[in-house]
C-alpha cells in the first residue's frame, strides 16, 4: 500500500493557499490528513474541500507536530518565524515566500528544471517567484540547446500575484471607471506604499519594493533566482516588471541572445519537448499565441511568438504565459512534494535530504 502523508497548508485562507488545497485534491495528493492553518485573524473559518469541512486553525510552532509536508504561502516574516519550527518537528516545508529562496542549504526548485536540487534540503525547500518559474521553464531548454548569453525580460503581470484584496480592488476600480468615478487605490504597487496607483486601465512599472540601483525586488528576484535554479551564477539577465490590469496569468516578453545558432523552428522543437511546456506557435497560423485569459487555470507554461532577433548573432524573441497562482505558486509547490514522495517510494523509504 502506498504511504499517505500528513499535510498542512499554512496561509490556507489566502489566494495561493486556497489554490494549494484545490490542487492537492485535483492531483490526488496522497494525504492522510489535511491541516489548514492561518493567522489568528483567519482562524476558526470553515473551508470545505473535497466534500470535507475543515476548521482553520491558528498556525503556531506546535501545529506542525506529526506533519510530513507543510506548504507555506504566507508573508516572509511568518515564514521566517514558523518554517524552522516546522522543519525541526520533522515536516518538510515547501515555502512560497521570499524568506529562504537565496539561502545556501535551501533548494530553490522548479521540478522540470532542477529536480535533483530538491534532495539537498535540510527541512526547507523554497518555491521560486512566479515570474521566475515560468521564465526558467522557457530559458533552461534554450540554454541546454544553444547556451544563454544574455536575456532581457519585460513582464506583464496579473494582480492575483498581489493577493485577493488587490484582485478585488482592481474589480472595484473597473466598476468605478465604467461609472465615471474613481475607485480605491491602496494595493498597487503594494499595500502601504508611499504612493499607490490605480491599476484599472493602467500599467504600473513596479512590483514589490525597491531594492538597489533603481530596481524593484521582483526584478532582482528574477535575476538571482534564475541563476540559482539554472546553476548559472553569472547569467546576464535584466528585467522590467510591470503590473497590468489582468486578474490572473503572467506574461513575459523574452529577448534571448544565445551562444550558438538556434533557428526558431529548432527552438520550437526543443521547447515542445520540455515537460510542462506547451508551444502555442505556428508560422502557418500566426494569430495563434497564448494570452493570460486563455492559460489561466492551466498548469503548463505556454510559449508563442517565437521569432529570430537579427540584431545579435543568435537572437530570439518569445512570449511566455502561465497561470501565476497555479504553476507560479501552488502547483509548483505540490510538484516539489511529489518529487520527494516519488524518490521515497523508489528509494529507501526516506527522503534523501534528511
Between 236 and 273, CB nearer to a second copy: 236
Burial bucket for residue 348 (CB in 10 Å: 0-12, 13-18, 19+):
exposed
Ordered DSSP codes for 212-254: ETTEEHHHHHHHHHHHHHHT-TT-EEEEE--B-S-SS-EEEEE
Helices (H) and strands (E) in the chain, counts: 8, 16
In angstroms, rounded to a whole number, what is the distance separating the alpha carbons of residues 16 and 306?
A: 30
CB of 221 to a second copy, least distance (A): 16
Binding mask 276-305 for a second copy (x = CB under 8 A): -------x--xxxx-xxx----------xx
Nearer to a second copy, 188 or 336 (CB): 188
* CA 180-186-188 angle, 5° bins: 95
Q: How far apart are CA 18 and CA 329, in angstroms?
A: 11
CB nearer to a second copy: give 43 or 253.
Answer: 253
User: Which of the residues 164 through 223 are near a second copy (CB under 8 A)?
Assistant: 171, 174-175, 177-178, 189, 193-195, 197-198, 201-206, 210, 213-216
CA–CA dist 327, 85 (Å, integer): 27
Catalytic annotation, residues: 130, 250
Residue 198 Cβ vs a second copy, minimum distance, rounded to whole Å: 6
CB of 158 to a second copy, least distance (A): 8
Contacts of residue 344, Cβ cutoff 8 Å, sequence gap at least 6: 3, 350, 351
Sign of CA dihedral 265, 320, 255, 227: negative
Contact mark string toward a second copy, 136..155, x via CB under 8 A? --------------x-x-x-
User: From CA 279, how far away is CA 297, in angstroms rounded?
Assistant: 17
* Minimum separation from the CB atom of position 312 to a second copy (A): 7
All residues at 6 or more sequence positions from 230 whose CB lies less than 8 Å from its CB, including other chains:
113, 114, 136, 139, 140, 143, 148
- What is the closest distance, in whole angstroms, from the C-beta atom of residue 284 to a second copy in the complex? 11
Query: Among residues 95 and 208, whose Cβ is nearest to a second copy?
Result: 208
| CB nearer a second copy, residue 10 or residue 267 | 267
Name residues contacting a second copy, limited to 241-270 (CB under 8 A): 242, 244-247, 249, 251, 253, 255, 264
Mark the segment that binds a second copy (CB under 8 A) among 2-10, 99-107, 240-248, 343-351: 240-248
First to last CA, the chain: 23
Nearest distance, CB of residue 86 and a second copy, angstroms:
35
One of 39, 45, 240, 269 touching a second copy (CB under 8 A): 240
Among residues 45, 40, 100, 34, the alpha carbon closest in space to that of 68 is found at 34
Give me the residues that bind a second copy (CB under 8 A), please: 150, 152, 154, 156, 171, 174-175, 177-178, 189, 193-195, 197-198, 201-206, 210, 213-216, 236-238, 240, 242, 244-247, 249, 251, 253, 255, 264, 283, 286-289, 291-293, 304-312, 315, 317, 319
Amino acid at each position: 500500500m502506498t504511504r499517505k502523508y500528513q499535510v498542512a497548508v499554512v496561509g490556507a485562507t489566502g489566494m495561493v493557499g486556497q489554490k494549494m488545497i484545490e490542487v492537492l485534491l485535483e492531483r490526488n495528493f496522497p494525504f492522510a490528513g489535511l491541516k489548514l492553518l492561518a493567522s489568528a485573524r483567519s482562524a476558526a473559518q470553515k473551508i470545505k474541500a473535497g466534500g470535507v469541512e475543515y476548521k482553520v486553525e491558528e498556525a503556531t510552532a506546535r501545529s506542525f507536530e506529526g506533519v510530513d509536508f507543510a506548504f507555506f504561502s504566507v508573508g516572509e516574516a511568518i515564514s521566517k518565524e514558523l518554517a524552522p519550527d516546522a522543519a525541526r518537528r520533522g515536516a518538510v516545508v515547501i515555502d512560497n515566500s521570499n524568506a529562504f529562496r537565496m539561502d545556501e542549504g535551501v533548494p530553490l526548485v522548479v521540478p522540470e528544471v532542477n529536480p535533483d536540487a530538491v534532495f539537498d534540503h535540510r527541512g526547507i525547500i523554497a518555491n521560486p517567484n512566479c515570474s521566475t518559474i515560468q521564465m526558467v521553464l522557457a530559458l533552461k531548454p534554450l540554454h541546454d540547446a544553444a547556451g544563454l548569453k544574455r536575456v532581457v525580460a519585460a513582464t506583464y503581470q496579473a494582480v492575483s500575484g498581489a493577493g485577493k484584496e488587490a484582485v478585488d480592488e482592481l474589480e472595484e476600480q473597473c466598476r468605478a471607471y465604467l461609472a465615471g468615478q474613481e475607485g480605491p487605490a491602496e494595493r498597487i504597487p503594494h499595500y502601504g506604499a508611499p504612493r499607490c496607483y490605480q491599476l484599472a486601465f493602467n500599467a504600473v512599472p513596479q512590483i514589490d519594493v525597491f531594492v538597489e540601483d533603481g530596481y524593484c525586488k521582483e526584478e532582482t528576484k528574477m535575476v538571482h533566482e534564475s541563476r540559482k535554479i539554472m546553476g548559472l551564477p553569472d547569467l546576464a539577465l535584466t528585467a522590467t516588471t510591470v503590473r497590468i490590469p489582468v486578474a490572473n496569468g503572467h506574461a513575459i516578453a523574452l529577448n534571448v541572445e544565445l551562444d550558438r545558432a538556434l533557428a526558431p523552428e529548432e527552438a520550437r522543437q526543443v521547447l515542445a519537448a520540455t515537460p510542462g511546456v506547451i508551444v502555442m506557435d505556428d508560422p502557418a497560423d500566426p494569430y495563434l499565441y497564448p494570452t493570460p485569459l486563455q492559460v489561466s487555470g492551466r498548469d503548463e507554461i505556454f510559449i508563442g511568438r517565437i521569432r529570430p532577433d537579427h540584431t545579435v548573432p543568435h537572437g530570439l524573441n518569445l512570449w511566455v504565459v502561465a497561470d501565476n497562482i497555479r504553476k507560479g505558486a501552488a502547483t509548483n509547490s505540490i510538484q516539489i512534494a511529489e518529487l520527494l514522495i516519488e524518490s521515497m517510494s523508489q528509494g529507501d523509504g526516506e527522503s534523501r535530504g534528511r
